[in-house]
Amino acid sequence: MDALIVGRAICGLGGASMYSRVMVLLSITILDYEWPVYFGLCGLTWGTGTILGPILGGAFTVSSATWRWHLQETPQTVNCDNIGKHCQIDNYLSSQGLKSPSFDVDAPTEPLVPSDAPEIEAARSELIDATLMLHDLILGPKEYLMKFTHDWLISMQAIGRFNIAKSIPIHEEVSYADIAKRCGVNELDVRRILRHAMTLRLFKEPKRGVVAHTAASRMIAEDQQMADWVATTSDELWQAATQTVNAMVKHPGSQEPNETGFALANGTDKSVFEVLSQNPPRAKRFGSAMKAWTEGTGYDLQYVIDNYSWKKVDNGTVVDVGGSHGFACTRLAKAFPDLNFIVQDLPPVIEAGAKTVPSELSDKIKFMAYDFLKEQPVKNADIYFFRWIFHNWSDKYCIQILRNQIPALKKGARIVINDNVLPEPGTMPRWREERLRSMDLTMLELQNSRERELEDWAKLFEDADPRFTFKGGKQPAGSNLWILEAVWDGDSTTQ
């Protein structure tokens, strides 16, 4: 018969293994008797009996009673072995001598699973999805909608604006009064802000009236890029987000980068790039925050090095359009010494980048000032490479950028793009899809730009010029970005 959940779900930590630490207490009713049920990802314990085999939903037989757990979006029978692979994570961490995840101040801050273990990362990803599903379902629709998520950013903004994390030594306990003095903030406000942040696992109150670090707050205190990320999301992105719908009303369907939520929030008719260029400290913080985002394992340039046929243009020329300081070309030049590289970006960026290229690569990597909204000056190169450029621009400007390359293209020249591709809904773990779609909205609020599905990329090339042949692309295992390619099949347009 069906077992109906009538009690509560409690997630806690404690126990010997990673999976026994992720436990849930449920009360279920079978044969008019309420049973307390404790289960982890690798087993279910009720009364004095244990069913080995992971349980995340489905029908199971316990003694003579068959019960169905209604914690599936669509209840269905699940083979116990389907979730057993999650035990791989615990085994992997143990075999590699790696620490288990923790909220403790001394917990590891590097990614839980290295990039060279994609099957373990896949298990982690499914585990995240499963626990989020459980949380959301047990919460119920009303409480789910009333989570006051907007208030999270008040805490984050205050922590960033007043440098609260840095005011607390890593392994010390500090009173609210002392934090208030150090940060120049009212003590009551400090207490309210931090006690709210503690519900998000930022800081902890080991005894009444004193504050100490958790793993997450320690990162803000010690990692400047993470501190800049916290400040940028609350001071820049949040402000832009609150004005985005107003911008949509004021400028319906706009593709202009200065008709955005960011522009309204800043009281300007300039784009985000123009605004930041006029305020170097602000631009530096924004750039640091973006670097924090892209330095995760899923953005490693090694994916580009290993998963595109660079050798098919041996002794050829690669133009890195919008290539910043030449980080990508430096890595590529070391891997493919027969190639030659030209890094293009705006003058101040190029000036700084030219000073950072290793001396042994100075004859292989050249720098050139270039605005890709204008005609491409480098003729007859083999590859024009764009890494994370097009998602910053609306279709109107992406088409313009592509058309600006055409006068430089020889027959067979390639446009290679390393960028996001939106998935078909429901085809990847929900938490990963949510991050991509959040990035899509971020591009809307900042630039009126967007992330694109694969067919959107094909249409960009078709609309730019039918002589482009879009070859599609692939997402290397473990990479957050795709590698896309189009070939110029027209006659050489160069003089």
User: pLDDT by residue (tens digit) across 337-364?
Assistant: 999 999 999 998 898 888 888 999 999 9
The mean pLDDT of 52-66, rounded to a whole number, is 33
Residues 6 or more apart whose Cβ sits within 8 Å of residue 109: 215, 218, 219, 223
Which residues, listed in sequence order, are joined to residue 466 by a DSSP beta bridge? none
Provide the pLDDT for residue 114.
Answer: 77
Provide the pLDDT for residue 494.
Answer: 63
Boundaries of every domain in the chain: 4-139, 149-222, 226-294, 297-431+449-488
Domains 149-222 and 297-431+449-488 share a fold: no
Cα separation, 423 vs 435, in Å, equals 11
* Second CATH level (architecture) for the domain 149-222: Orthogonal Bundle (1.10)
54 in Cβ contact with 83 (< 8 Å): yes
Per DSSP bridges, beta strands 365-369 and 23-30 are unpaired
Cα separation, 445 vs 442, in Å, equals 5
Phi-psi region at 43: left, alpha or beta (left = phi > 0; alpha = psi -120 to 50): left
Provide the pLDDT for residue 37.
Answer: 41
pLDDT digits (tens, 9 = 90+) for 17-50: 333 333 444 444 433 444 444 444 333 333 333 3
- Count helices and strands (H / E) in the chain: 19, 17
pLDDT digits (tens, 9 = 90+) for 374-398: 999 999 999 999 999 999 999 999 9
Q: Backbone phi, then psi, for 447, in 5-degree steps?
A: -135, 0
- In angstroms, the first-to-last Cα distance of the chain is 79
Chain Cα centroid distance, residue 3: 38
Told to judge if 150 belongs to the known catalytic residues of this protein, a careful annotator would answer: no
pLDDT at 479 over 70: yes
pLDDT at 280 over 50: yes
Instruction: Give, in order, the Cα–Cα distances in Å from 246 to each of 20, 251, 268.
Output: 48, 8, 14
Cα separation, 445 vs 260, in Å, equals 6
Name the catalytic one among 86, 213, 325, 391. 391
The mean pLDDT of 62-76, rounded to a whole number, is 35
Cα separation, 288 vs 227, in Å, equals 9
344 in Cβ contact with 369 (< 8 Å): yes
User: Could you tell me the two tokens for 278?
Assistant: 């006029």
Q: Where are the alpha helices (DSSP H) in 237-326?
A: 238-250, 261-265, 272-277, 280-294, 302-306
Provide the pLDDT for residue 86.
Answer: 56
| Candidate from 6-15, 87-96, 105-114, 162-171 with smallest mean pLDDT | 6-15
Q: In this structure, which topology does domain 297-431+449-488 adopt according to CATH?
A: Rossmann fold (3.40.50)
